[in-house]
Structure 1
Amino acid sequence: MTPRTLKRLHPAQRDDIGDLTTRRPLPGPAIPQLDPFLFLNHHGPQVYPPDNRGLPFGPHPHRGFETVTFILEGELSHLDSGGHESVIGPGGVQWMTAGRGLVHAELSPASFKQAGGPLEILQLWVNLPGRLKMTDPNYLGLQADAIPKVEADGATIEVISGAVDGVVGPFPSLIGIEMSVVRLAPGGVVTLPVAEGRAVFLYVVSGEIVVGGQAAPRWNLVELNDDGDAVAFESPAGAVVLLGHAQPIGEPVFAHGPFVMNTREEIIQAIDDYNAGKFGAVAG
């Protein structure tokens, strides 16, 4: 296998939401999207005091894409207009397909607001092609013990979707996304096959990795050249990395707030449908 080379680092931009520490590597000043990956918010790491207000993401709509949420520390309560409800703890993952339209809320459970504690969450938005933008909404949330792991060369690979060394992730992807959380011990090395032409999403959550002899510190999105059939990196001191890859969709992207469609007219229709109550509502 021939590893891809590093093209550019994109530091996450600080953009706090109230008292929630937030960094955003995508979109960034030099990278509007990494088709089909649209958006990543990195919340935390931080420690909430007792009697806190919790997360600020009350009921809001989405259409035309998917959200993948990684709970690294703390807890996240999910509720949506499709009737799905869960509280996911550390190491767990949520995968929500907004499709034709869904209202959801992502909040802290009462126990976390009362006791406080550490919190770190990643949320990735993944685009859908035009043929799938009006698909049925769906949701799956799994705790850490339901996510399979692959151990190799000083690294633990938590397989979210797709397959690594024959181990298949529990989250189905409508567009063939391969997604993993990679935890490297000091001296850990990772080499994984990635077909040429696929877009690679590589974000350093913590620590530092080395790609082709070049250092990539925490809170950087690593853009790779499409010049190989593998992704390879190592970490002398240890790191946590979000790694995904997918075939680019190659369609126009017209985004407005919580809606991601192909045209302005489709955005207007989404707003009209939401205002008409067609996305449903969150109970309670």
Structure 2
Amino acid sequence: MRPIKKIHKAEYRPIADLVTYSPMPTRSLEQIDPFIFLNHHGFQTYPAKNQGLPFGPHPHRGMETVTFILEGDIMHKDSSGHESVIGPGGVQYMTAGRGLIHAEVSSSDFKQKGGDLEILQLWLNLPASKKMVEPNYVGLQKEDIPSFDLDGGKVKVQQLFGEWKGKKGAFEGSFPITMSTLYLEKGGKFTKVIPSEENIFFYLVRGVAKTNGTDVLFRHLVEFANTGETVEVEALEDSILILGHALPFNEPMVAQGPFVMNTQQEIQEAYRDYQAGKFGSWTQ
């Protein structure tokens, strides 16, 4: 069994009228290398004729985003020419690499009609050798993501990265990583063996689950020690869980605003390059 080191409660950090909780980074947890940032937006219900998500054009360099759309939608547009609207159950994967400008806003349909919204965005670090790769984006709807069942259908798994139970993930990661979104009915169980040298990202989005003998509430992130290899989960209520694991980079990291690099000098270069227009041009 993997011992639980600490369970971290997400901190409430609203953005404009957007309900937002953040379990990482917080005062108690800086990162779980290479998982470096998580924002959990919602659950909330928007009225008709709303302003939608507030994430207009902004730059990134040196990291990746994985965005989980549980309710509502996101319209993505970036300076590399990618554009899409992804709905409930869909996932977006963006590699900022050497730099791009992107916007993540609600579709005109959602802003007109309103509706439920719950979206999570996870930032992945990039190793020093890949900080300056070409930007890339892939957005997939729910039906385009490989999935399978465990525990007689009580656990439904969306396989995003890596492989589990012979099912290959929807996305090809920039480095070796395994990640799934799991939808568990009350009483649903699963066990996963994860090499002890890999760091685990474990965030309970909804519900309550017993994890390696300890109850975990929704909006809590579990930090595991790097001993033992088995993770056992049983849903005490209907639950949604994001579970990922990867080897740590063990590299210096400097994060400032939208940039994640290895040195302060590289951060300053990122700001200079952005101001010099090297992240591409933005057109509405």
Normalising to structure 2: TM-score of the pair? 0.98
Distance in 1, matches of 2:50 and 2:103, equals 18
Distance in 2, matches of 1:237 and 1:124, equals 24
2:140 partner amino acid: L
Which residue in the other structure is 2:26 paired with? 28
Q: How does 1:114-263 map to 2 (within 5 A)?
A: 114-153=112-151, 154-263=154-263
Q: Which of 91, 94, 104 pairs up with 1:93?
A: 91
Contact 1:71 1:89 in 2 (8 A): yes
Cα distance per residue 1:127-146 (max 9 Å; x no partner): 01110000110000000001
Contact 2:199 2:247 in 1 (8 A): yes
Distance in 2, matches of 1:72 and 1:222, equals 21
Helix, strand or coil for the counterpart of 1:135?
A: coil
Q: Which of 48, 51, 64 pairs up with 2:49?
A: 51
Normalising to structure 1: TM-score of the pair? 0.98
Contact 2:212 2:231 in 1 (8 A): no
Instruction: Give the superposition deviation at 1:164.
Output: 1.0
Contact 1:203 1:219 in 2 (8 A): yes
Q: Percent identity?
A: 51
Helix, strand or coil for the counterpart of 2:49?
A: coil
Q: Which runs of 5+ in 1 are unaligned?
A: none
Which residue in the other structure is 2:277 paired with? 277
Q: Which of 15, 18, 23 pairs up with 2:16?
A: 18
Helix, strand or coil for the counterpart of 1:277?
A: coil
Helix, strand or coil for the counterpart of 1:273?
A: helix
1:37 aligns with 2:35: yes
Q: After TM superposition, what 4+ stretches of structure 1 lie above 2 angstroms from structure 2?
A: none
1:263 partner amino acid: T
Instruction: Give the superposition deviation at 1:218.
Output: 0.4
Q: Which runs of 5+ in 2 are unaligned?
A: none
Distance in 2, matches of 1:237 and 1:271, equals 46
Helix, strand or coil for the counterpart of 1:43?
A: strand
Distance in 2, matches of 1:130 and 1:269, equals 15
Deviates further, 184-193 or 36-45: 184-193
Deviates further, 232-241 or 86-95: 232-241
Distance in 2, matches of 1:196 and 1:227, equals 5
Cα distance per residue 1:137-183 (max 9 Å; x no partner): 00000000011112011211110111110100110111111111011
Cα distance per residue 1:90-142 (max 9 Å; x no partner): 00000000000010000001110000000000000000111000011000000
Distance in 1, matches of 2:209 and 2:281, equals 43
Instruction: Give the superposition deviation at 1:190.
Output: 1.5
Deviates further, 236-245 or 18-27: 236-245
Aligned residues: 282
1:45 partner amino acid: F
Instruction: Give the superposition deviation at 1:236.
Output: 2.1
Distance in 2, matches of 1:244 and 1:264, equals 29
Distance in 1, matches of 2:226 and 2:190, equals 18
Contact 1:80 1:281 in 2 (8 A): no
Distance in 2, matches of 1:158 and 1:235, equals 17
1:255 partner amino acid: A
Instruction: Give the superposition deviation at 1:281.
Output: 2.5
Helix, strand or coil for the counterpart of 2:266?
A: helix
Distance in 2, matches of 1:233 and 1:7, equals 16
1:188 partner amino acid: G
Instruction: Give the superposition deviation at 1:30.
Output: 1.2
Helix, strand or coil for the counterpart of 1:30?
A: coil
Instruction: Give the superposition deviation at 1:61.
Output: 0.2
Instruction: Give the superposition deviation at 1:224.
Output: 1.1
